[in-house]
Amino acid sequence: MNIINGKEISQKIRLELKEKVALLSKQKGRIPGLATILVGEDPASKVYIGSKIKACQEIGMKSFHHGLPVNSTQEEIISLIKKLNEDENVCGILLQLPLPNGQNPDKCIETISPSKDVDGLHPYNAGMLTLVKSWKEIVDKKMLVSCTPMGIIYLLKYSGIDIKGKNAVVIGRSNLVGKPISMLMLANDATVTMAHSKTGNLKQITKQADIVIAAIGKAKFLTKDFIKDGATVIDVGINRVDKKLYGDVDFEDVKDMNINITPVPGGVGPMTITMLLNNAVLAFERQ
Ligand code: NAP
């Protein structure tokens, strides 16, 4: 088994981003700034947003944090986003999800200017991803793409794993992970199969795959009988069981196989914030 070390790759990319931020700041005469919005006091969301702010400062970017009370209305959140859209010091806007009290975030996300949408969730950016013809186009246009899927592509590329012409099976069809990673794999010339909870014969399908991407949200779901020898397995799942983190892959069961695999934790996870930083830098370059 060959471990794809997301922590190491992530650190490498963050160093590259730090250099880029220094260079761009000099060229443009201003420092890129990321605005973060947290509605309410959810402890997990506070930890997530805290790590994002810290990561942003570590690569030399400015951060502007806006904490809104838990009972904020959609109009209040939208009004703040509109202000940040106009603010020249802000190159990217991050609205921490989920919103409290089961509030639907769609209208808020749609208000974020597509050019400042560092989470890549705005319908314009999500839609553009379905229209691209190649990875080169994504890079050349500095497109803002959902962070976790983008992190997976960087993991594969930095690990020297070929995507072109490979059979890739993505398990999961969420707007956050499954759909965008399928589009990105397609843009990288993989032959992509998208599987989900209604897929029949899942094992037979994944057994054919050179690359399996599991974004299901079910601890230890994929065992060795799902995976072919020599495959690459990207485990996106984060499942908390008895205070321990597990991926969607049964790591113990597959550990003696001849495969490349991302561990949980330490695989896909660290790449997500790194890609948020990458998106913020791309947004700054474009503006
Ligand atoms: P989601 O919206 O709940 O989607 C889960 C997908 O898995 C759905 O498309 C569902 O199919 C499919 N699925 C469920 N049971 C299945 C089964 N038995 N066989 C085949 N497919 C099945 O979740 P998500 O937001 O995409 O996240 C997936 C996992 O990734 C979660 O564990 C999440 O915590 C983790 N995650 C990690 C990161 C990171 O930074 N590492 C970021 C985002 C998410 P249907 O569509 O048919 O229901």
Q: Give the amino acid at 267.
A: G
215 lines ligand 1 (CB under 6 A): yes
Specify the residue with its C-alpha closest to ligand 1, atom 18: 197
Closest ligand 1 atom to 248 CA: 32
246: phi then psi, degrees, rounded to nearest 5: -130, 150
Q: Residue 13: which of 123, 155, 219 has the closest Cα?
A: 155
Beta-carbon contacts of residue 25 (< 8 Å; ≥ 6 apart):
31, 32, 60
Burial of 31 (0-12, 13-18, 19+ CB in 10 A): middle
Q: What pLDDT does 151 receive?
A: 98
239 Cβ closer than 6 Å to some ligand 1 atom: yes
Q: What is the pLDDT of residue 232?
A: 98
CA 7 to chain centre: 14
Ligand 1 center from residue 214 Cα (angstroms)? 8
Q: Sign of the C-alpha dihedral, residues 203, 205, 209, 212?
A: negative
- pLDDT score for 221: 98
Q: Relative to the CA of 171, which ligand 1 atom is closest?
A: 21
Predicted pLDDT at 23: 98
The answer to whether 283 and 118 have CB atoms below 8 angstroms apart is yes
**What is the model's pLDDT at position 72?**
97
Using a 6 Å cutoff on CB, does residue 217 contact ligand 1?
yes
The rounded distance, in Å, linking the Cα atoms of 30 and 197 is: 48
Report whether residue 263 contacts ligand 1, using a CB cutoff of 6 Å: no
| 134 dihedral zone (left: phi>0; alpha: psi -120 to 50; beta) | beta
Share of the chain above pLDDT 70, in %: 100
- The protein residue whose alpha carbon is closest to atom 1 in ligand 1 is 174
> HSE-up of 6 (CA within 13 Å, CB side)?
23
Catalytic positions: 52, 96, 119
CB 190 within 8 A of CB 167: yes
Closest atom of ligand 1 to 271 CA is 40
Q: In percent, how much of the chain has pLDDT > 90?
A: 99
Segments of the chain with pLDDT less than 50: none
Q: Please report the pLDDT score of residue 136 as a whole number.
A: 98
How far apart, in whole angstroms, are the C-alpha atoms of residue 93 and residue 13? 21
pLDDT at 58: 97
How far is ligand 1, taken at its centre, from the CA of residue 216, in Å? 3
How much is the pTM?
A: 0.97
